[in-house]
Amino acid sequence: MCLCKTGDGIELRAIRNADIEKLLELAIWSEELWPLKSFRQRLTEAAELHARGKGLACALYVEGEAAGYVIMDFHWTKSGQLHHGQLHYGLAPSHRGKGVVTKSCGALIDYAFRRLDLESVSIIVPVLNSESCGVPERLGFEKAGTSWGLDEDGQPVETAEYAMSRGGWQAREPR
Ligand SMILES: CC(C)(COP(=O)(O)OP(=O)(O)OC[C@H]1O[C@@H](n2cnc3c(N)ncnc32)[C@H](O)[C@@H]1OP(=O)(O)O)[C@@H](O)C(=O)NCCC(=O)NCCS
């Protein structure tokens, strides 16, 4: 099912099992960075949450071919109100450098603010992953700060948190 389109050949479709197999073939993550088993599990869990209305999990289709993914994890207030989304993304190496993820995240953020009434969206990235930091920076997110945590292997990693409020998104300059 197509959730949204960017208008230039990119479609965001709810991830199906066949997409997961395709995304695993695309070498989005190197095995050393994130074992494929964890990647499969992450995509499968996100797709299940999407199916239950508890998150968004989209395969990015470029000119009809699966090229990457954007996931939005949902956060609720104590009273059960959906208020925040956290974005995660990855793209096949052959599609990088063309703005595919920036445009796709922009489309999903629009969808989330307009249709789901979220208050804010964040993106947390390792400081050393400059390609990933570029996505929120191009979208006009504010850098909220940096902190140290542990990566998948329990190794220390410094991450930067970028944030966008609904008001900030509505007021931003057209890009
Ligand atoms: C992070 C990742 C998705 C970034 O990919 P990307 O292709 O650089 O990002 P985009 O698709 O948004 O493309 C942006 C690039 O296209 C260029 N571009 C060209 N046309 C563009 C347009 N119309 N709009 C925006 N950017 C455009 C930008 O200038 C930028 O290139 P630059 O960095 O050389 O300046 C990719 O490196 C990846 O999948 N890495 C592995 C997984 C990962 O690290 N995920 C994030 C975990 S925190």
Atom of ligand 1 nearest to the CA of 91: 39
Q: Calculate how far, in angstroms, residue 115's C-alpha sits from the geometric centre of ligand 1.
A: 26
Cβ pair 58, 124 in contact under 8 A: no
Radius of gyration of the chain from its Cα atoms, rounded to whole angstroms = 15
pLDDT above 60 (res 175): no
**Percent of residues, the chain, with pLDDT higher than 70:** 94
Residue nearest to atom 35 of ligand 1 (CA): 97
Residue list, ligand 1 pocket, CB within 6 Å = 28-29, 89-91, 96-103, 125, 129, 131-132, 134-135, 138
Q: pLDDT per residue over 67-76, tens digit each? A: 999 999 999 9
The one-letter amino acid at 167: G
Nearest alpha-carbon partner for 59 in 93, 10, 95, 112: 10
Please give the pLDDT value at position 33. 64
Q: What are the E-state strand segments in 9-167?
A: 10-14, 55-62, 65-76, 82-91, 120-126, 142-150, 156-165
Residue nearest to atom 15 of ligand 1 (CA): 97
Largest CA distance in the chain: 44
Domains of the chain from N-terminus onward? 2-122 (3.40.630.30)
Token code pair at residue 111: 């969808």
Token code pair at residue 28: 């989005």
Token code pair at residue 162: 């970028």
CB count, 10 Å around CB of 130?
10
Query: Is pTM beyond 0.85 here?
Result: yes
Token code pair at residue 131: 């390609």
Atom of ligand 1 nearest to the CA of 126: 48
